[in-house]
Structure 1
């Protein structure tokens, strides 16, 4: 009887598939420095694409969208569509003055601060009237959050912040 039970058990276990090994998650970056460098590269590419946007031509928006995700991406699409619909025009370019990594606490999340110079950036309406407030600062700082989506680092959020070093 024991022999039959042993035979049955071994037969059943032979039919049971071996569980697939689950991959061990690996960090997206080998070091904090690598994560910060990757985030800076993504942001510089994003700003390059942003500076090429022509609000009259929505096809120029698409290259920008590969650098963001989630609510930030949705907000970006909505803003650009609205500016296009209103006939707004943007001139000049935003320049990155500085970029500094702040936090890298997990394998897929990076936080950084950037200082951007908008002194040469203009916005006008379809009649050519200036829409830039006279009291707009020439520089502004943003806290940026990046996450890994489908093995690519993208901007998840951006929020204005006070940074005395950026104000000068």
Structure 2
């Protein structure tokens, strides 16, 4: 997933406005040295551990969602950004509109860091989520989960460092993973 465009656009607009104001003023200040970016984490292992912590917190929050109470979605949104957050917002809105119920619990069966390079602005991991003990039911208690849904979902998840917060930003199915043996 990518960072939301609106936040990036606002930052660019404010920067442009500030630069224009400085250029128009009679006295221009001496430019300050540009700081060297520092890594968000001390090591790749630390970055992967932080990403795993975020994903597990997301999974815990997901297990606590009550579709009839939109305020329970906020814990998920606090851990997400970009198209991952947009997809969650759309999905939970639809589930609520249909009066569906989430039941059971999903479990992180495997978290494996894949890519992270300094300054660790983006981290990628393979996440295997066991959904065998969870589902979605309609108003009459009938499952609306496709019968061919796999018990374990393999996801390639991208995390971004947004203003010091590590957020889940994007996820794709990872068909060629080793999750089946998890």
Superposition TM-score tier, normalisation by shorter sequence: 0.7 to 0.9
State the secondary structure of the residue aligned to 1:64. helix
Deviations 1:104-154 (A, max 9, x none): 124211000011110100211011111122222111100000011111000
Q: Is 1:77 aligned to 2:82, yes or no?
A: no
Distance 2:29 2:96 in 1: 57
* The one of 69, 87, 96 aligned to 1:57: 69
Q: Is 1:91 aligned to 2:103, yes or no?
A: yes
Distance 1:136 1:16 in 2: 63
Distance 2:132 2:85 in 1: 25
TM-score normalised by length of structure 1? 0.87
User: Which residue of structure 2 aligns with residue 5 of structure 1?
Assistant: none
Distance 1:71 1:106 in 2: 24
State the secondary structure of the residue aligned to 2:92. helix
Aligned positions of 1:12-91 closer than 5 A: 17-91=29-103
Q: Is 1:120 aligned to 2:136, yes or no?
A: no
TM superposition shift of 1:53: 0.5
TM-score normalised by length of structure 2? 0.80
The count of aligned residue pairs is: 154
Tell me which of the two structures has the higher relative contact order, counting C-alpha pairs closer than 8 angstroms and 6 or more residues apart.
2
State the secondary structure of the residue aligned to 2:178. helix
TM superposition shift of 1:164: 4.9
TM superposition shift of 1:74: 1.2
Structure-2 change in CA distance of 1:24 and 1:156 (3 Å): same
State the secondary structure of the residue aligned to 2:76. helix
- How much is the aligned-residue C-alpha RMSD, in angstroms? 1.4
Q: Is 1:146 aligned to 2:159, yes or no?
A: yes
Contiguous gaps of at least 5 residues in structure 1 = 1-14
Contiguous gaps of at least 5 residues in structure 2 = 1-26
TM superposition shift of 1:94: 0.4
TM superposition shift of 1:22: 2.1
Larger radius of gyration: 1
Q: Is 1:165 aligned to 2:144, yes or no?
A: no
Deviations 1:19-68 (A, max 9, x none): 22222111111110011001000000111111100111111001110111
